[in-house]
C-alpha cells in the first residue's frame, strides 16, 4: 500500500504521531459509521411503539428492521465497482446524503408501508457508508499509521450497537418515535460538510463494465441469506420462510464465487482469499462478529424479561462493555506495533472468551456488579480484537486491492452477526418455552450463553490461525499475484 494519500490541510503531527489531517479524515468517517451502525439497533426498542401508533401487527412492523438489513446486504457488494467508477469521496458524500434524506422521510412516514420503503432507502445509503469510509481510511493512513487509526475507528463501531437501544429508548420515551430517525439529519448535514472539506480527492478509475450477472447473483444471494436468518426466530424453521431463502441464497453466492474465479473483471475479487492472512482475518471477523452481536441481543433481553428493566435502564446497563472498548482503544495501536496483529488479536479474543464464562450462571438474582465486570472485560477484549484483525487484513494487500477487500470484510462480519443472532435467538426461545417459572426463564439465558462461549472459543481459534498465517507470511513472503491468480496491479490514484 501507499504510505498515505494526499490530504488537504496536512499541517504537522498530531496525537499518536499521526498527522492531524489524517485524524480529521478519521473523524469524518466515524460520523458516517456511527449513523450507519447505530441505525441497525436503534429501531429495535421502538417496534412495539411503531406497531401501536401505525396500527399494524408486529409481523408487519418488523420489516422496518428487516428491510434495512436487506438493503444493506444488497448494496455492499457494489461498493468496489462504484468506488472505482466515481471516486471514494464522491461516493461517500452521496451515500450520506441518501442516508440522511431517507432518515428525514422515515420521520415523516404516516404508515408502515411508507416507513419500510424509506428504511430501504436508508439502507442503500448506509450500506455504502462503512466500506467506502474504511477504504478512505486505509488509503489515507498508510501502513505506518494503520494500527492506531483502526484502533480509534473501532471504538464508535463497537459502541454504536451498545448505545443504540439506549438512545432509542430515550428518544421513544421522551420525544417520540419519529426522532429516532430525525436525529440523523443534523449529523448527516455536518458529516457532508466535513467530508467535502477534509476527505482526500480520489480520481475515478477505469472500472470497466459492471458485472451485471455478478450483481444479480450476489445481491439476491445475500438478500436470501439475510431474509432467511431474519425469519429464523419468527417462523420456527418454516421451510417457505427460512429453509428455502437460505438454501437459495447460499446457492447463488456459491455460483457467484465460482463464476468470479473464471472471469477477468468480477464484481468482487474473491481471489483475495488466496492470501492466507486476509483469509484468516476474514474467518476471525466472521466468528468474533457472531459472538459479539449474538450477545448484544441476549443481554438486553435478559435485563428486560428476567430482571424487568425498561428499555432505557437495559441500555444503560450495557455501558460497561463500551467503557472496556474505549480503554482498549488507548493501547491497541501500540500493542499492534510492538507485538503484531496476530498476538494482539489472540489476547483480545481470549479475554472475550473468558468474559463469557460468568454469563453461564445468569439467573433471576445475578449480581449486576459481576455482570458489569464481565462486560467490561469483554469490551476490552473486543477492542483488542477487531482493530488488529482489520490491520492485518489490509496490510497484507496491495493498495489497489483495498476497494475489493473493504466490502468483503463488511459482508463477512454482517453475515456472521446475522448467523450468530439467528442461532442464539432460536436457542433462547427453545429454553424459554421449556421454562416453567420466572427463575427458570432467567436461567434460560445462562443456558443460551453456553452457545456464545462455544462461538467465542471458535473465534479464539481463528485468531490462532491468523497469528500462524502472519508468521508464515513473514518467513515465506506474501502470496503474490503470480501465485494467487490476482489481476495485475494498476496505478492507484490516492491523491
| Domain boundaries defined on the chain | 16-210, 211-266, 271-495
Lowest average pLDDT, out of 57-66, 386-395, 426-435, goes to: 57-66
C-alpha torsion angle, residues 370, 375, 376, 380 (rounded to 10) = 140
pTM for the model stands at 0.75
Q: What per-residue confidence (pLDDT) applies to 306?
A: 87
Residue 475 pLDDT class (50, 70, 90 cuts): low
Q: Which residue has the higher pLDDT, 249 or 490?
A: 249
Q: What is the mean pLDDT of residues 31-60?
A: 80
pLDDT band at 302 (very low <50, low <70, confident <90, very high): confident
pLDDT band (50, 70, 90) for residue 239: low
pLDDT in tens, 163-173: 777 788 788 88
Residue bearing the bigger pLDDT, 69 or 341: 341
pLDDT at 400 (0 to 100): 79
Percent of the chain with pLDDT over 90: 30
The rounded mean pLDDT for the chain is 83
Question: Contact, 123 vs 70, CB < 8 A?
Answer: yes
Residue-wise pLDDT tens digits, 56-66: 876 677 788 77
CATH superfamily of 16-210: MFS general substrate transporter like domains (1.20.1250.20)
- 85-115 burial: b if 16+ Cβ within 10 Å, else e: bebbbbbbbbbbbbbbbbbebbbebeebeeb
* pLDDT score at 12: 53
Assigned C-alpha cell, 419: 448467523
- The pLDDT of 200-229, averaged and rounded, is 84
* Digit-coded pLDDT (tens) for 115-144: 999 999 999 998 899 889 888 988 888 777
Express each pLDDT in 152-190 by its tens digit: 777 777 677 667 777 887 888 888 899 999 999 999 999
CATH architecture of 271-495: Up-down Bundle (1.20)
Give the pLDDT confidence score for residue 236 in this predicted structure: 54
Q: Determine which helix (DSSP H) or strand (DSSP E) holds 438, and give its type and residue range.
A: helix 438-476
CA dihedral (275, 335, 160, 100) positive or negative:
negative
Residue 495: pLDDT band (50, 70, 90) is very low
| Residue (of 186, 181, 204) closest to 88 by Cα position | 204
Q: How confident is the model at residue 466 (pLDDT cuts 50, 70, 90)?
A: very high
User: Is the pLDDT higher at 330 or at 17?
Assistant: 330
Amino acid at each position: 500500500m501507499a504510505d498515505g494519500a494526499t490530504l488537504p490541510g496536512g499541517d504537522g503531527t498530531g496525537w499518536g504521531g499521526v498527522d492531524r489531517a489524517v485524524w480529521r479524515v478519521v473523524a469524518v468517517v466515524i460520523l458516517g459509521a456511527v449513523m450507519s451502525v447505530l441505525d441497525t439497533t436503534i429501531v429495535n426498542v421502538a417496534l412495539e411503539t411503531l406497531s401501536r401508533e401505525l396500527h399494524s401487527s408486529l409481523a408487519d412492523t418488523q420489516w422496518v428492521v428487516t428491510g434495512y438489513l436487506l438493503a444493506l446486504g444488497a448494496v455492499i457488494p457494489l461498493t468496489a465497482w462504484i468506488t472505482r467508477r466515481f471516486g471514494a469521496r464522491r461516493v461517500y458524500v452521496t451515500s450520506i446524503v441518501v442516508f440522511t434524506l431517507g432518515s428525514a422521510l422515515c420521520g415523516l412516514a404516516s404508515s408502515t408501508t411508507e416507513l419500510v420503503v424509506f428504511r430501504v432507502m436508508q439502507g442503500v445509503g448506509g450500506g455504502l457508508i462503512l466500506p467506502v469510509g474504511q477504504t478512505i481510511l486505509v488509503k489515507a493512513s498508510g501502513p505506518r499509521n494503520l494500527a492506531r487509526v483502526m484502533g480509534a475507528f473501532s471504538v464508535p463501531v463497537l459502541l454504536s450497537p451498545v448505545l443504540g437501544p439506549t438512545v432509542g429508548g430515550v428518544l421513544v420515551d421522551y420525544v417520540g418515535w419519529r426522532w429516532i430517525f430525525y436525529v440523523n439529519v443534523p449529523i448527516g448535514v455536518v458529516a457532508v460538510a466535513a467530508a467535502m472539506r477534509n476527505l482526500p480527492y480520489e480520481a475515478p478509475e477505469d472500472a470497466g463494465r459492471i458485472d451485471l450477472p455478478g450483481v444479480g447473483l450476489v445481491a439476491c444471494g445475500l438478500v436470501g441469506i439475510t431474509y432467511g436468518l431474519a425469519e429464523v426466530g419468527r417462523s420456527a424453521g418454516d421451510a417457505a420462510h427460512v429453509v428455502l431463502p437460505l438454501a437459495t441464497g447460499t446457492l447463488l453466492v456459491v455460483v457467484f464465487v465460482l463464476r468470479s474465479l473464471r472471469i477477468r473483471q468480477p464484481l468482487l475479487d474473491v481471489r483475495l482469499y488466496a492470501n492466507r492472512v486476509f483469509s484468516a482475518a476474514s474467518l476471525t471477523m466472521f466468528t468474533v462478529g457472531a459472538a459479539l452481536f449474538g450477545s448484544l441481543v441476549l443481554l438486553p433481553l435478559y435485563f428486560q424479561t428476567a430482571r424487568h428493566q425498561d428499555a432505557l435502564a437495559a441500555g444503560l446497563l450495557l455501558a460497561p462493555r463500551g467503557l472496556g472498548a474505549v480503554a482498549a482503544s488507548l493501547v491497541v495501536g501500540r500493542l499492534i506495533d510492538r507485538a503484531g496483529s496476530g498476538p494482539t488479536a489472540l489476547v483480545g479474543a481470549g479475554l472475550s472468551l473468558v468474559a463469557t464464562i460468568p454469563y453461564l450462571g445468569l439467573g433471576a438474582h445475578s449480581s449486576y456488579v459481576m455482570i458489569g465486570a464481565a462486560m467490561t472485560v469483554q469490551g476490552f477484549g473486543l477492542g483488542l480484537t477487531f482493530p488488529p484483525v482489520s490491520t492485518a487484513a489490509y496490510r497484507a494487500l496491495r493498495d489497489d486491492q483495498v476497494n475489493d477487500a473493504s466490502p468483503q470484510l463488511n459482508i463477512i462480519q454482517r453475515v456472521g452477526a446475522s448467523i450468530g443472532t439467528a442461532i442464539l435467538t432460536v436457542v433462547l426461545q427453545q429454553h424459554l418455552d421449556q421454562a416453567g417459572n420466572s427463575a427458570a426463564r432467567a436461567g434460560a439465558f445462562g443456558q443460551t450463553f453456553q452457545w456464545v462461549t462455544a462461538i467465542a472459543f471458535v473465534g479464539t481459534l481463528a485468531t490462532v490461525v491468523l497469528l500462524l498465517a502472519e508468521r508464515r507470511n513473514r518467513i515465506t513472503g506474501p502470496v503474490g499475484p503470480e501465485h494467487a491468480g490476482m489481476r495485475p496491479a494498476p496505478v492507484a490514484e490516492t491523491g
